Amino acid sequence: MAIRGGSENFVGGQPPSLSGSVLHTRVSLFREWCSGYSREMPNTQPAGYIAIPPTGKGSPVLVLHAWWGLNDTMKALCTRLAESGFVTFAPDLYHGKVADNIADAKILCNALDANQAKVDIADAARFLNERAGQAGHGLAVIGFSLGAYFALDLSVADPEHIRSVVVFYGTGPDDFSGSRADYLGHFAETDEFEPQSSVDNLEAALRRAGRPVTFHSYKGTGHWFFEPDRSQAFNQAAASLAWDRTLAFLRRSQG
């Protein structure tokens, strides 16, 4: 899949192979996969990382990783969310592969099969809802850049189950007319990978669909400002504020 200027974001905010009628067909298929919430949950945990609160229960939060893969930063985020009372699961869309530099991340992202990724995400969502004891109820999704695209897409493909969406420096589809979710977005002030025009278009699309949406821009930040392993981009003050806003949003929307 094509990468724009080295970005983890697909050209035009979505994989080229998912445009037009093909996108409609695949979204329809994805709805069928997501309808599996009513089926028996997988016998084993899908590939990924799960974190359980000390109480053993909590509202479910699905975490979708950036183009680096399911690295220690994403696992640490899952643990923090669990410590805050959420049953959290992050599917491994790369199935064991992790990149620590842009060149390798681009290779992994280009090799990603979007169809298979959506199947994996649907399985992960079903597993998480069952594990959290909330089958048939809603869950929250948090996506980072590449993961943000899939999080936004999931909210459109499975409106029956996705209640809230948090995106970090990533955009996606432009038609949210079928969504029932609330949205929170965290974006960098200066982002070479996610132009402000894409952020503005996403916000406008959500508002056209009548969805509750709050987007924040963090002064003096760039792409990956929330991720501490990206030492040149990480911004502690912005990351802390984004974390606090995310927790408040999840508690309000999932409570």
Token couple for 219: 């002064």
Nearest to 245 by CA among 208, 216, 204: 216
Does the predicted model carry a pTM greater than 0.85? no
Instruction: Dig out the tokens for 143 from the structure.
Output: 């996506």
Total tally of structural domains belonging to the chain: 1
Sheet arrangement for strand 162-168: 48-51, 86-91, 59-64, 139-144, 162-168, 182-188, 213-218
Give the pairing type, strands 48-51 and 86-91. antiparallel
Asked, for residue 200, whether it belongs to a domain, the answer is yes
Q: What is the chain's pLDDT, residue by residue, as a tens digit (255 residues)?
A: 222 223 333 333 334 333 333 333 334 444 444 443 333 444 578 999 999 999 999 999 999 999 999 999 999 999 999 999 999 999 999 999 999 999 999 999 999 999 999 999 999 999 998 888 865 568 999 999 999 999 999 999 999 999 999 999 999 999 999 999 999 999 999 999 999 999 999 999 999 999 999 999 999 999 999 999 999 999 999 999 999 999 999 999 876
- pLDDT value at residue 130: 87
To the nearest 10 degrees (0 to 180), the angle between helices 146-157 and 114-131 is: 70
- Confirm whether 5 is domain-assigned: no
Please report whether residue 3 resides in a domain.
no
122 lies in some domain: yes
pLDDT, position 44:
79
Would 196 be classed as within a structural domain? yes
**Consecutive H or E run containing 109:** helix 102-111
In a domain, 151, yes or no: yes
pLDDT value of position 198: 96
Residue with tokens 């955009």: 171
pLDDT of 20: 36
pLDDT score at 137: 66
In a domain, 6, yes or no: no
CATH number at residue 21: 3.40.50.1820
CB-hemisphere CA count at 13 Å for 253?
26
For residue 153, the enclosing domain spans: 11-37+44-254
